[in-house]
Amino acid sequence: MTEYCDRIYIRGFPSSYTSDSLRERFREYGPIKSIYITNNEGTAPFGIIRYKNPNNAPKAVEAANAKQEGDITWYVAICEKKNERKAKRVNAHNQNIEIWKKTNLFVKGLPSDVTNEKLQAHFGIYGDITSISIKNDKVFVCFDKEEDAKKAIEDAKTRLFEEKKLNVTSWIPERELKLKMMINQRKRQMYKVRQERKKKKSEERGQTATEEAKEAEPAMEKQDIIAKEAELAKEEQEKTATEEAKEAGPAKEEQESIAKEAEPAKEE
């Protein structure tokens, strides 16, 4: 139940109608509290009737809406707030979009001189077409049934149009297309950021390893010096031992000679 359930919205009547004309026509459904009518030049007239009893408004709608009276086809509805009407329009539009996404096709690869008749002949074999739109280089073919649109997409993989292969895809609303592009762009940016971070970390690790190696160089040089000194000391020891052995050689020979000379004396 809306806030304006005691009021009805009326259109479809000729511009010659007045408040009294509407009162005369709709008072049969109950006592009328007020009538508002607008009849501006260039726009279709409409009126709003407010009943004293809210229960009378639905009666008027049920009895008079879509009723044919001579040249008049009445449109009568319960008044709604502006935001309620807008919400209904948006909801209806969104529902239509969901239908169009399944039945409307976007066709690329067509020659510049393509006509509605040629498109009708090419795509009409799949089923009833509700509309064909050619806007510059953009061509849209809308089918009545979803399965017909699917068949057209599938056949486009192998079927030619005037010896040319067409690119036929389901229609995507422009706002969804823009959103998809924004999401993909964001993904590319995030990937780039991750790669830069990864590169930076790798460079930092390489720099750290270089610094550690530089810090370790003095210690390694010191170890090399110690090892070299030890090697030299060993060589010196070996050299000294060799020289001592050479010096001890004549003394040993002399001892052996004395020992030989002593042997005859021992025999005597």
Q: What pLDDT sits at residue 267? A: 46
Q: Which of 80, 104, 138 is the last residue of a domain?
A: 80
Number of domains in the chain: 2
**Domain shared by 50 and 100, yes or no:** no
Radius of gyration from C-alpha coordinates of the chain: 52
Q: Is residue 102 part of a domain?
A: yes
Per-position b or e across 94-126, b if 16+ CB within 10 A of its CB = eeeeeebeebbbebeebeeebeeeebeebbbeb
Q: Is residue 120 part of a domain?
A: yes
Backbone phi and psi for residue 185, each to the nearest 5 degrees, phi listed first: -65, -40
Q: What pLDDT sits at residue 250? A: 61
What CATH number is attached to the domain comprising 132?
3.30.70.330
Give average pLDDT by consecutive 10-residue segment, the chain, 268 residues: 74 92 95 92 89 94 92 90 77 83 92 92 95 88 95 94 92 80 86 88 79 70 76 78 65 62 53
* pTM of the predicted protein model: 0.44
Q: What pLDDT sits at residue 36? A: 94
Q: Which domain holds residue 104?
A: 87-172
